[in-house]
Amino acid sequence: MKWLDEQSLSYTFVDYRDHPIEGIQLKSWAQQLGGWPKLVNRASPTWRQLPEDKKTPATDEDWLQLIAEFPTLVRRPVTVDSQMVTVGFKPDLYAQRFA
């Protein structure tokens, strides 16, 4: 958000832990990103602390249930505009995207 503010770019911040994202939207983001592993941060402390049986979701519904139970698994930030969905923050990539 700081980078966006510094560039005088307008945005709407949504804390999805307080305002959960609907499953259909999460599924769409996962598809646009190239799959659930791109949307879910499997290097996070939350993922590492999951029981082993939860680390192998097989269906979209399994992934959605996992995210509903552990919303911090979603990589942050998720940036959505009319053109694309991205996760994570890299100043150089943001500069290209919002030039």
pLDDT of residue 10: 94
Looking at domain 14-97, which of 3.40.50.1820, 3.40.30.10, 3.40.190.10, 3.80.30.20 is its CATH number? 3.40.30.10
Q: Smallest Cα–Cα separation from 67: which of 83, 59, 98, 93?
A: 59
Q: Which pLDDT band holds residue 83 (cuts at 50, 70, 90)?
A: confident
pLDDT of residue 55: 96
b/e map 61-74, b = 16+ CB within 10 Å: eebbebbeebeebb
Q: Tell me: the pLDDT tens digits for 5-34?
A: 999 999 999 998 889 899 999 999 999 999
